[in-house]
């Protein structure tokens, strides 16, 4: 096989949801946007539904419609981007619940789909999505008379527990939602870990389900194995790859692997990231190119037919550190060329 193999453990995903759910005394939903963080929302969504998830969150109405086709009737599907122009048919036909972000969206939804459920997203200090306090104050009485299902906001710094913005946003959200009769939600993965004061009525973890920081106790969900195309001997003084940036100090053995930045392996990790042959680390030698990696396998007596770049020895966040990015980007950038192999119930 000339493409990498992405192994996805759906039972580990479900276990991570259960572990986060156990940290709260409220309902725990699941975020499956960006096609289930790159792991396929249909597979991820069905496994989580089997584990007990009854509310899901996606980024767009298009994602919501695809998830509805996979899950069927029953689970609630909420849309972070709200009710955008052109979304009406998708929201109606798939039974989606938009999180309204502005007065304009509120007017559009209630005019186009009178009587259809909606939630409201508030801006508690992140300045990204949601109604400003003044807009909410002006619309609140009217919005609360309709089929309002949820009032939510989002923390900007929850992965830094001591950051003062966490407490500031908690205070803002608490003030804005005082007396609200419907469920409230502030916490994603990081907010779950901040403790009960942030949990309100509903938590909605995302990256922690998939094995990502800040949920340090998460079970690994993905392993990425890359096939070795060719192995060559390189003499001292010879260079490898574009720009001749890596030069052998001693006679070396170089393996060329089938994967590159077209597959989400970011160029910045050139000469830095490790791959693994069992328990033995092997370092990238030279630049990441579009379709190929070159790896120093001099420490191996026998070069296997593949090396792992994600797995038990290297998490998405550890690989992200070598690429000067975050685990979210690594996960969601894993390209369509990988063959995906699922294990676990509902696979």
Here the CATH number for the domain that contains residue 100 is 3.20.20.10
Same domain, 29 and 163: yes
- Residue 215 is assigned to a structural domain of this protein: no
What pLDDT shows up at residue 81?
98
Tell me which of 210, 244, 266 is where a domain ends.
210
Question: Per-residue pLDDT tens for 29-46?
Answer: 999 999 999 999 999 999
What pLDDT shows up at residue 347?
57
Same domain, 203 and 226: no
What pLDDT shows up at residue 2?
81
- Residue 159 is assigned to a structural domain of this protein: yes
CA–CA distance, 320 with 315 (Å, rounded to integer): 8
Same domain, 129 and 249: no
Same domain, 246 and 131: no
CA–CA distance, 59 with 48 (Å, rounded to integer): 18
Helix (H, G, I), strand (E, B) or coil at 12: helix
- Residue 161 is assigned to a structural domain of this protein: yes
pLDDT < 70 regions, the chain: 1, 346-347
Same domain, 197 and 110: yes
| Domains of the chain: total | 2
- Residue 299 is assigned to a structural domain of this protein: yes
61-71 and 41-51 helices, crossing angle to 10°: 60
Question: Per-residue pLDDT tens for 186-232?
Answer: 999 999 999 999 999 999 999 999 999 999 999 999 999 999 999 99
Same domain, 41 and 172: yes
**Runs of H (alpha helix) within the chain:** 10-21, 33-37, 41-51, 61-71, 88-94, 103-112, 133-143, 164-176, 189-194, 316-322, 327-333
Measured CA distances, 219 to 37, 55, 71, 222 (Å): 16, 22, 24, 9
Same domain, 43 and 181: yes
* Residue of 23, 242, 272, 283 with catalytic role: 242
What pLDDT shows up at residue 27?
98
Tell me which of 210, 235, 252 is where a domain ends.
210
Does the annotation count 33 as an active-site position?
yes
What pLDDT shows up at residue 344?
87
- Residue 183 is assigned to a structural domain of this protein: yes
Residue 318 tokens, joined? 């550890």
Tell me which of 178, 210, 242 is where a domain ends.
210
pTM: 0.94
CA–CA distance, 152 with 121 (Å, rounded to integer): 5
Here the CATH number for the domain that contains residue 322 is 2.40.37.10
What pLDDT shows up at residue 346?
62
- Residue 63 is assigned to a structural domain of this protein: yes
Domain hosting 282: range is 222-343
Does the annotation count 268 as an active-site position?
no
Helix (H, G, I), strand (E, B) or coil at 29: coil
């Amino acid at each position: 096989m000339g493409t990498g193999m992405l192994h996805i453990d759906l039972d580990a995903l479900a276990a991570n949801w259960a572990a986060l759910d156990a940290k709260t005394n409220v309902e725990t939903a699941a975020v499956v946007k960006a096609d289930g963080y790159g792991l396929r929302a249909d597979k991820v969504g069905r496994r989580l539904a089997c584990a007990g998830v009854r509310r899901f969150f996606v980024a767009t109405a298009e994602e919501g419609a695809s998830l509805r086709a996979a899950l069927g009737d029953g689970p609630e599907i909420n849309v972070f981007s709200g009710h955008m122009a052109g979304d009406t048919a998708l929201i109606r036909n798939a039974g989606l619940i938009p999180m309204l972000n502005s007065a304009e969206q509120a007017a559009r939804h209630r005019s186009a789909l009178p009587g259809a459920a909606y939630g409201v997203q508030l801006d508690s200090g992140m300045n990204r999505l949601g109604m400003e306090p003044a807009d909410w104050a002006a619309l609140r009485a009217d919005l609360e008379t309709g089929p309002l299902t949820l009032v939510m906001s989002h923390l900007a710094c929850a992965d830094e527990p001591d950051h003062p913005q966490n407490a500031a946003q908690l205070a803002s959200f608490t003030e804005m939602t005082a007396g609200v009769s419907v469920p409230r939600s502030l916490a994603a993965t990081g907010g779950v870990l901040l403790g009960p004061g942030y949990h309100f009525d509903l938590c909605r973890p995302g990256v922690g389900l998939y094995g990502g920081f800040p949920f340090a106790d998460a079970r690994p969900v993905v392993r990425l194995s890359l096939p070795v195309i060719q192995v060559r001997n390189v003499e001292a003084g010879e260079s490898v790859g574009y720009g001749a940036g890596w030069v052998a100090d001693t006679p070396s053995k170089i393996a060329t692997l089938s994967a590159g930045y077209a597959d989400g392996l970011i160029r910045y990790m050139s000469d830095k990231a490790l791959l693994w042959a069992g328990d033995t680390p092997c370092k990238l030698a030279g630049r990441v190119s579009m379709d190929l990696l070159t790896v120093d396998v001099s420490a191996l007596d026998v070069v296997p037919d593949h090396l792992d770049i994600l797995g038990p020895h290297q998490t998405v966040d550890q690989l992200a550190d070598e690429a000067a990015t975050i685990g979210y980007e690594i996960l969601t950038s894993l390209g369509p060329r990988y063959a995906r192999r699922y294990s676990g119930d509902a696979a």
